[in-house]
Structure 1
Amino acid sequence: MGLGSTAKKIQTLSDRAEAMYKQVQKLQQRITGLEEKTDETNETVARLDHQLTEQRALLLAIAEEQGLNGEEILAEAAIDDVDADESSPAEAAVGETTSE
């Protein structure tokens, strides 16, 4: 009777170990997939950054050709963006709650 009980415990332990092994394999596959997606995303970001740099240079050249100061236009646009961000309703609401 003692051997039957031991065999049952060993079988239960073996079943649990097999289930855990399968979970670990699934996790390894998911991690590998995430690593591949991350690499793809990094490549896409690098490509887009390069394209953006090229487009900026092209726009600045066109602006100069038209007699405009492209850097000044970009600086003004950046200031406008900062002003718009500072006066957004969400920012105002946060400021009101923190000052009370």
Structure 2
Amino acid sequence: MGLGGTAKKLQTVMDSAEKLYAKMNEIIGELKDLQQEVEDTSGQVDHLERDLAEQRALVEALAAKEGIDIEAVLEDADLPPEPVKEDAEESESAEAAAGTDVPVANESSDK
């Protein structure tokens, strides 16, 4: 009788381990997909930044040729405020305060 109960417990542990392993593989796949998306987005942002820098250089050259005061135009423009850059230390503490821990599903609810 003792061996039957132990076998059943071991089978339950093995089933749980298999579910955990499958879920872990699923998460690894999702992380790889996310990493690829981040790399693609980073490349797109780099391309946009270069295009914007080229356009700015052209507009500044045209403005200089026409005798337009760029600083005066920018002061008069209705521009959104520049974003405030956080220090790395402030950013880390803000993330910690926001609770960036990933919740773990309760395994007993799957049974």
Q: Give TM-score scaled by structure 1 length.
A: 0.71
Which is higher, the Rg of structure 1 or of structure 2?
A: 1
- Structure 2, unmatched stretches of 5+, are 82-111
- Structure 1, unmatched stretches of 5+, are 84-100
Check the 8 A contact 1:60/1:71 in 2, yes or no: no
Bigger RCO (CA 8 Å, 6+ sep): 2
The answer to which structure has the higher helix fraction is 1
> How far is 1:65 from its partner?
2.2
1:1-100 equivalent positions in 2, closer than 5 A: 1-77=1-77, 80-81=78-79
Divergent runs of 4+, >6 A: none
The sequence identity of aligned pairs, in percent, is: 38
Q: CA separation in 1, counterparts of 2:51 and 2:61?
A: 15
Deviations 1:31-88 (A, max 9, x none): 11111111111111111111101001111112222232233312332xx3369xxxxx
Q: Give TM-score scaled by structure 2 length.
A: 0.64
Aligned length: 81
State the AA in 1 paired with 2:33: G
